[in-house]
A and B are shown apart, each in its own frame.
Chain A
Amino acid sequence: MRRILIALTYLVFIVLLIIPLFKIGTGAWQEGLDGLIHAITRPEAVHALMMTAWIVVVVTMLNTIFGVMLAMYLVRGTWMGSRLKQFLNSIVDLPFAVSPVIGGLMIVLILGPSTTIGAFFESIGFKIVYAFPGMVLATLFVTFPLMVREVMPVLQEVGTQQEEAASTLGAYGWTTFWKVTWPLIRFGVIYGVVLTIARSLGEFGAVLVVSGNVMNKTQTATTLVYQDVENFNVVSANGVALVLAVFSVLLLLFMEWAKRRRGVH
Chain B
Amino acid sequence: MNGILRHKGWSWGFRSTVMLYFIVLIALPIIGVYTKSFSLGWSAFADSVSDPLAWKSILLTLKLSLIATAINILIGTMIAWVLNRYKFIGRTFLNSLVDLPFALPTAVGGLMILLLLGPNSWVGNLAAQLGLQIVFHEPAIVIAMVFVTFPFVIRAIQPLLEELDKSEEEAAYLLGASKFHVFRRVILPSILPGVLSGAMLAFSRALAEFGAVVLVAGNIPGKTLIASVYIFGEVESDNPQGAAAVSILLLSLSFLILWLVNWVQMRRHAK
**Residues in chain A within 8 A of chain B (CB atoms):** 1-2, 5-6, 8-10, 12-13, 16-21, 23-24, 27, 66, 69-70, 73, 77, 79, 88, 90-110, 112, 137, 140-141, 144, 172-175, 195, 198, 201-205, 208-209, 221-223, 225-226, 229, 234, 237-238, 241, 244-245, 248-249, 251-253, 255-256
Nearest A residue to B93 by beta-carbon distance?
A: A13
Decide: A109 and B82 in contact? CB cutoff 8 A. no
Question: Among the listed stretches B20-28, B43-51, B189-197, which one makes contact with chain A, having 4 or more residues with CB under 8 Å of it?
Answer: B20-28
Please state if B103 and A97 are interface contacts (CB–CB under 8 Å): no
Other-chain contact of A202, B86, B105, B227, B231 (Cβ < 8 Å)? B105
Give B residues with C-beta under 8 Å from A. 2, 5-6, 11, 14-15, 18, 21-22, 25-30, 32-33, 36, 75, 78-79, 81-83, 86, 88, 90, 94, 96-97, 99-109, 111-116, 146-147, 150, 179, 201, 204-205, 207-211, 214-215, 227-229, 231-232, 235, 240, 243-244, 247, 250-251, 254-255, 257-259, 262
Residues of A within 8 A of B94 (CB): 9-10, 13
A interface, by DSSP: helix, strand, loop or mixed? helix
Q: Contact at A16–B22, with CB atoms within 8 Å?
A: no
Chain A residues near B33 (CB-CB < 8 A): 102, 105-106, 109
Contact in complex: A205, B108 (CB < 8 Å):
no
From the candidates A96, A108, A195, A204, name the one contacting B107 in the complex (CB within 8 A): A204
Q: Report if A20-B99 is in contact (Cβ < 8 Å); known contacts: A110-B28, A202-B107.
A: no
B21 touching A66, Cβ below 8 Å: yes
- CB of A103 within 8 A of CB of B29, answer yes
Residues of B within 8 A of A198 (CB): 102-103
- Establish whether residues A13 and B97, one from each chain, have CB atoms under 8 Å apart when the complex forms: yes
